Structure 1
Amino acid sequence: MLEHLNVSKIEVAQRQLNVAIRMLFANEDPVAVHTLVGAASSILSNLVENRHPNESWDKLAQGANGLSASEYFTIMRKAQNWFKHAVDDPDERFEFDPGETEALAFWAVMNASLLADLSTEAMIYQIWF
């Protein structure tokens, strides 16, 4: 039986992101990889907005593309939100581009870098991207 874990939000996001990066490089299921990257990305975005709002990589991308926060997150989290909800569209299908995961993971890594030292996986991903 597994023991209980006492983890912080940053630790959860780092663990999700690290596993997702390893899965991405191992060419594992793109939906599962995106789901993990999306979960980590959401936590990291929230933490950066709370702790370093003027340094957020999300805000940088919003400004560079002339998007409001709502428009930006609708675009960035479209697949992630579709993967985790089935209330309004239980029978619909979704055209998913796994390449979107790579960009989402990059922004997650960049936001993670504002919060703590990057893991080996995150540093390798940053260089690879």
Structure 2
Amino acid sequence: MSDARTRTEPPATLEAEDKKLVTLARATRARTQAAQGAAVRDSDGRTYAAATVALPSLAVSAIGVCIAMAVASGSGGLEAVVVLGEDDVAETDLAAVAEFAGPGVPVHHGDARGTLDATVLS
């Protein structure tokens, strides 16, 4: 994440719905062995989980796939995002969250085991 957005410690205790996102992101990443796994909750309470797509002809981040699924399902926005993996959250992903859902959406980042290390708002 760049310095343009404030990176903070994740909340000491996550809400149950955000814990569900951590579980979904961790399971998706483990199942696919992808660089990152992500899960989002949309403004209707629906969840979407995805992994990084890294094909020679198509590359999409895990957050990007989640946003695409939400948009394709007719969602009007996001309430929360979790992404797990070694790489930090890309500025392009933060920009996509902000463009789709507006400012103030928490994007939680953590390692492959699901231990969160940072939160940034879109």
Whether TM exceeds 0.5 here: the answer is: no
Greater per-residue helix proportion = 1
TM-score (normalised: structure 1)? 0.26
TM-score, normalization: structure 2?
A: 0.27
Higher relative contact order (CA 8 A, sep 6+): 1
Q: Which has the higher strand share?
A: 2
